[in-house]
Structure 1
Amino acid sequence: FQSCVYEEFGQSFNDKSVLCKIIQFNTDKSIPKIIEYYSCAFTRMEYYWNRKGMYVDSIKKDMVKAGLTNGDDVPRVISECEQKHGSDVKPYDYMNCLLSDEKTKDLFKKVMISHDEAFFKQNFCH
């Protein structure tokens, strides 16, 4: 996640209000380059590839490993998300879909944090 901050916002980026929103999973599309940021993050987590879309099995595997009891919830949420957002669906949208579904939201946060715990432990919110 930190490397995508550098890649999308620049090496010297230090807007704590934006970084706080990222670590609290509270971003919105008004933040410049946030769509590209999550595309970068999902690519680094090996959940997304620009030309191929989402790697549902990779997300499902990580979610089950983190404790999701029904792995079928992941493809269900991804499919519903694609129906809702159409062909222009982006990783940002997938993230919000996974974070708004009762069965996936808590574990998906846990999985995302596990990919860069040092970044999420930083004190951007004070």
Structure 2
Amino acid sequence: MDEEGYDPLQNLYEEEQARREQERYAQIEQETFDRDIEVLMSTEQGRRFAWRLLERSGVFLSTFNPKATDLGMNMAFEEGKKQAGYWLLSEIQRLCPQQYFVMTEEQKKWQMNRLRLARQA
């Protein structure tokens, strides 16, 4: 082996370069995702969609269902759904907490309008 061209640290340099590239790609991916959540929450339609996801995940409900045939499995399944909702909720709180309050106010108005329309029918 040619000792002049041999660099014992070459593998370390290459590994460090690969690690830096991987970190940069992860940072770009996270920044893109963060912008996606911010854009979602910047429109009434996006906030309405996020609210539906939160509702369907069961974030605002108890996981206990005494009518379930297999209580343990049912609760585990419901807790899994809730975790997805908690994740979305935490991202909203981290990135645009003010939009969460806008979203809840919009939902209150929507619920009141729905009740008013139901009474008229």
Structure exhibiting the larger radius of gyration computed from Cα positions:
2
Q: Say whether the fold is shared (TM-score over 0.5).
A: no
Between structures 1 and 2, the one with greater helix share: 2
- TM-score between both structures, scaled by the size of structure 2: 0.26
- TM-score between both structures, scaled by the size of structure 1: 0.25
Report which structure shows greater RCO (CA 8 Å, sep ≥6). Answer: 1
